Amino acid sequence: MKISIVLCVFDEIRVIQDSFERLKKDCDNRGLRFEIIIVDNNSSDGTREWLESFEDDSVVKIFNKVNIGKGGSIKKAINVAKGEYLVIFDPDQEYENVTIWDSLLKIEETGAKCVLGSRRLGNRRNYKYPLNYYGVVVLTTLINILYGTKLTDAATAVKCFDLDFLKSIPLISNGFNLDFELVCRVAQRGGNIDEVQANYFPRSKAEGKKLNALRDGFLSLIVILITWLPFGKNKN
């Protein structure tokens, strides 16, 4: 079994080296066959220079010439990934590496097409921005109503997929709204979606958080509805 782990970064020089080194050590210690795909979204704070400073056979580097959004970067990574499973993981240190391994174990045990690391399982309420939190609750509830799922956190930044299944899905989103589109598309195609508990340590905007609750929430609502409507049900 080979794992593809995708890290999308934009101006993360404060945390990226430590996050990467800890992740790679974890992978090595577990004896996994893995690749880490790092997509730099045209950083200007030294992140790109750090990526260029080392060579590692287990690392695939993608450098965007312009900022194409997190979703656009993830789609690039999906296209080049070669694992049996693909994990999307934010290296911003809001999530623990253990959620990756819990997700992989769950997807192997259940045969799910997607496993989400939920910040809300276990009745957790660790958040800095109430608008972000309740926005996720509302949008996840809407997905449950429209797609017949029973999820708690569609917006989590830890997502594990059966890669062959994922590559069969055309995706349209380029921003943070891809998090929601991925879940909707998997459910739309009849793929089982499971969840595992994720510990969450939210950072502030001063610490580098980039999500805009109103803008990204609105775009996420639009993609949820477009995917559900008949003309949005792309079956290719």
Residues of the chain falling short of pLDDT 70 = 123-129, 203-211, 231-236
What is residue 129's predicted lDDT score, i.e. its pLDDT?
67
What is residue 201's predicted lDDT score, i.e. its pLDDT?
86
What is residue 198's predicted lDDT score, i.e. its pLDDT?
94
What is residue 216's predicted lDDT score, i.e. its pLDDT?
82
The reported pTM is 0.91
Domain assignments of the chain as residue spans, ordered by start: 2-232
What is residue 210's predicted lDDT score, i.e. its pLDDT?
63
What is residue 211's predicted lDDT score, i.e. its pLDDT?
64
Exposure on the CB side of residue 196, measured as CA atoms within 13 A: 26
pLDDT digits (tens, 9 = 90+) for 57-85: 999 999 999 999 999 999 999 999 999 99
Instruction: Confirm or reject CATH 3.90.550.10 for domain 2-232, answering yes or no.
Output: yes
116, 158 contact by CB (below 8 A): yes
Q: Where are the beta strands (DSSP E) in the chain?
A: 2-9, 33-40, 59-63, 85-89, 114-118, 158-162, 193-197
